[in-house]
Amino acid sequence: MTESERSNALRRRIRSRYRAERRFRLYGAAAIGSAVLALATLLGSVVGRALPAFFEHRVRLNVHFAPEALDADDRSAAGLAQANYGAILKQTLRSRFPDVTGRSEVRALSALLSVDAPYELRDRVLESPSLLGRSEEIWLLLTDQADLYLKGATDASGLSEAQIGWLESLRAEGRIERAFATRFLSTGDSREPELAGVWGAVVGSFFTLIVTLALSFPVGAAAALYLEEFAPRNRWTDWIEVNINNLAAIPSIVFGLLGLALFLNVLELPRSAPLVGGMVLALMTLPTVIIAARSAIRSVPPSVREAALAVGASPMQVALQHVLPLALPGILTGTIIGMARALGETAPLLMIGMVAFIVDVPAGVTDPATVLPVQIFLWADAPERAFLAKTSAAILVLLGFLVIMNLAAVWLRSRFEQRW
């Protein structure tokens, strides 16, 4: 082969390599674009389904607090709390729709209001007893079926033609408004979709993660520091390292079974409590924290250790005062990533009873509680159509929780990171 032919062959190979590199870049850009498109589609679908849950419809009624209708001879707080506020609502609706006379029609008309409406009137009277004998314009929450219809549901949402006519009449008079559903972010769960909130699950998740962090971070950091700085290299430590790596890959439901057998059956700790949930999740995240912490400790340059030993520091002082502070950003990042994984877990918590229906917001780690993933699971299985939007909205709250935790990991790394 002549020199010219070799030169031409070399140029052809170079051009072929350049074309292959351009194709590789194109494939990579297409893969990233497809992933971003899929993520945008998924988030768009969730956001589109979740938006209705953040709004609710209320009706403005002129309520007359007639003492005889309340059937409350006792005007004390205890007596007013036991009064018949449902009778006032029926009387108010009858005065607004005088043509409604039959008992079944009255029940259908009253069914447009949430079951919480009498309790709203009760709270008003208990807060201001001077309302007795007076009339006042009050905004009352509509039921979930009426709310779905007013939000533009494709069908009648289980409403009768008469109920739809009453709603349209109230809307034409300007007595129906759409407001932000503050109760969704401030109340606990409920059997009624219009009253169900996510705050109880948020508080339960917070308490559970606090217990998880309090157990997994110090134990994981201490175990990693011992294995990297003090443990001798022998079969025993090799066996421990292999088991730590294996535990990180075990299905999470196995840890739930362990928690059920140990914490509930043997130690008899309270069922469905953030304390037990946090302990189970701490067992699950501990291998992840140890692996991340060991990587962070291993990344500290040997020169730091040698310099500290050269000036007379003991091995314990080297580990605690020099190595650990430099490895802390990586340890914190790994811990928060493990916590984020724990936040999204459902299976181990189902095994310890955190699938129970909990109405009250927990006040401590020993109170019955549920967590966001379990709340999403419960609402997704509910037959009422309004819970579909609640489920998507709870998913958004969970994603927001995860984003906050990941931002905290980024901030902690930038805050404590030291360059050498």
Secondary structure of residue 48 in the 3-state scheme = helix
* Three-state SS annotation for the chain: CCHHHHHHHHHHHHHHHHHHHHHHHHHHHHHHHHHHHHHHHHHHHHHHHHHHHHEEEEEEEEEECCHHHHCCCCCCHHHHHCCCHHHHHHHHHHHHCCCCCCHHHHHHHHCCECCCHHHHHHHHHHHCHHHCCCEEEEEEEECHHHHHHHCCCCCCCCCCHHHHHHHHHHHHCCCEEEEECHHHHCCCCCCCHHHCCCHHHHHHHHHHHHHHHHHHHHHHHHHHHHHHHHCCCCHHHHHHHHHHHHHCCCCHHHHHHHHHHHHHHHCCCCCCCHHHHHHHHHHHHHHHHHHHHHHHHHCCCHHHHHHHHHCCCCHHHHHHHHHHHHHHHHHHHHHHHHHHHHHCCCHHHHHCCCCCCCCCCCCCCCCCCCCHHHHHHHHHCCCCCHHHHHHHHHHHHHHHHHHHHHHHHHHHHHHHCCCC
pLDDT bin (cut points 50, 70, 90) of residue 35 is very high
Q: What is the pLDDT of residue 30?
A: 92
**Residue 358, CA distances (Å) to 185, 204, 211 in order:** 16, 10, 20
Instruction: Please identify which residue in the block is written with the tokens 């075990």.
Output: 250
Q: What is the pLDDT of residue 104?
A: 84
The residues, any chain, with a CB within 8 Å of residue 169's CB and separated by 6 or more, are 97
Which among 84, 87, 122, 90 is positioned nearest to 109, based on CA atoms? 90
pLDDT bin (cut points 50, 70, 90) of residue 418 is low
Domain ranges, ordered by start, for the chain: 58-179, 199-416
Question: 156-164: long-range contacts at Cβ-Cβ below 8 A with a sequence spacing of 24 or more?
Answer: 157/385, 160/108, 162/105, 162/108, 163/108, 163/109, 163/111, 163/112
DSSP code string of 91-150: HHHHHH-TT--SHHHHHHHHTTB-TTHHHHHHHHHHH-GGGTT-EEEEEEEBPHHHHHHH
Q: What is the pLDDT of residue 382?
A: 84
Mean pLDDT for the stretch of residues 146-166: 79
Q: Check if CATH label 1.10.3720.10 holds for domain 199-416.
A: yes
Q: What's the token pair of residue 47?
A: 């956001």
**Mean pLDDT computed over every residue of the chain:** 84
Q: What is the pLDDT of residue 77?
A: 66
pLDDT bin (cut points 50, 70, 90) of residue 26 is very high
Q: What is the pLDDT of residue 311?
A: 85
81 has pLDDT over 80 = no
Predicted confidence (pLDDT) per residue in 222-249, tens digit: 999 998 888 888 888 888 888 888 888 8
94 has pLDDT over 80 = yes
Q: What is the pLDDT of residue 211?
A: 92
Mean pLDDT for the stretch of residues 175-198: 88
* Cα(140)–Cα(117) distance, integer angstroms: 6
pTM for the whole thing? 0.83
337 has pLDDT over 60 = yes
Mean pLDDT for the stretch of residues 260-271: 85
276 contacts 259 by C-beta, under 8 angstroms: yes
Mean pLDDT for the stretch of residues 58-74: 75
7, burial (CB in 10 Å: exposed 0-12, middle 13-18, buried 19+): exposed
* Cα(98)–Cα(134) distance, integer angstroms: 21
What are the backbone angles phi and psi of residue 62, rounded to the nearest 5°? Answer: -90, 100
Instruction: Please identify which residue in the block is written with the tokens 């351009």.
Output: 22
Mean pLDDT for the stretch of residues 181-199: 88
Instruction: Please identify which residue in the block is written with the tokens 């297409």.
Output: 30
pLDDT bin (cut points 50, 70, 90) of residue 417 is low
Mean pLDDT for the stretch of residues 130-134: 78
1 has pLDDT over 90 = no
Q: What is the pLDDT of residue 219?
A: 92
